[in-house]
Amino acid sequence: MNITKFDIQNSTMASKKIITKKSLDFFEKYLNNASPTGYEWEGQKIWMDYLKPYVDDFITDTYGTAVAVINPEAEYKVVIEGHSDEISWYVNYITDNGLLYVIRNGGSDHQIAPSKWVNIHTKTGIVKGVFGWPAIHTRRSGKEEVPKLDNIFIDIGAKDKAEVEKMGVHVGCVITYPDEFHVLNNDKFVCRALDNRAGGFMIAEVARLLHENGKKLPFGLYITNSVQEEIGLRGAEMITQTIKPNVAIVTDVTHDTTTPMIEKKTQGDCAMGKGPVIAYAPAVQQKLRERIIETAEANNIPFQRAANSRYTGTDTDAFAYSNGGVASALISLPLRYMHTTVETVHRDDVENVIRLIYETLLNIESGETFSYFE
């Protein structure tokens, strides 16, 4: 499809600010709610409630993936997708003196754990705890232990194992960090779980803008908030079999590589504030990716490029290699400090990801195969 100067001049989104007070309030509420992998449903309810005015229908599945649908009767189906789950911990072992040892639920970072508050989710509510660590005075100079999965532990103030159990804590309880949403220097969003609650927010904003701007799409749009990405793309693997899409545009986060101790030769060169990152990888269908790039260029949307080796490590892989092959692409949001409690993104990048997905949808026609042989 050719994109003309007329398209540029008439784009309603070229310079308009996208995030409103209402949408930012939703983003904050959505982020502040814990949605650990396998326990995403309360966050999905918040997400669906926000989307209700802008869509025609919803689909949910057994494991908690939620899909908001526009034009559900259409045969040709386009997915825009993010994932709803966040990394967390499980209680794995309780010592006789009432301390808790943990295992990961997703890619939780053991090195940031010491001195962090935690929320332990029980049947009767939240039990507070702290990741303890030996005081500097008690550690051997020159032979200090570093935090590792087998030496970090949680103290919930219990005197023994029996008191732990009386408090409702048992092996298998899921553990999250309580850190909440903040704005840094006016234009940076900081929170745990921006990976990838930001994705769910951005695709929801695309739906809102389509509705508010009166855009009618010639296909069914499946705004998909998948579960269980952090443990192997499992939610996307399931929901793609239900939707059976023709096209999938996935959004997730990627590393800002401009901060210390990151090697650009291996991690690439991407920076927060310089626009969405468009992925190159075997799973990314090249004609679809080029459509996205043409759309960005035509609408003056800044973008960056990143190369992925054998796989993207995102739900793109699950959609691409399903149903005999689905034309899929990945648009990423640059993020600092991934899998910590202070994940950081730039407001302009968030708006430009939204803008790029929105404009790309307006440049897809029903029935397109994106075949390399047409």
Residues involved in catalysis? 229
Closest CA to 295 of 241, 222, 357: 357
Q: What element of type H or E holds 124? A: none
Q: Burial letters for 205-224: b for 16+ Cβ neighbours within 10 Å, e otherwise?
A: bbbbbbeeeeeebebbbbbb
Residue 36 phi, psi (nearest 5): -65, 155
- Within 10 angstroms of residue 351's Cβ, the number of other Cβ atoms is 19
For 274, the token pair is 């310089």
Q: Write out the E strands in the chain.
A: 57-60, 66-70, 77-83, 88-94, 99-105, 117-122, 125-132, 153-155, 174-176, 182-184, 188-191, 220-226, 247-255, 277-280, 304-307, 327-335, 343-346
How far apart are the C-alpha atoms of 230 and 233, rounded to whole Å? 7
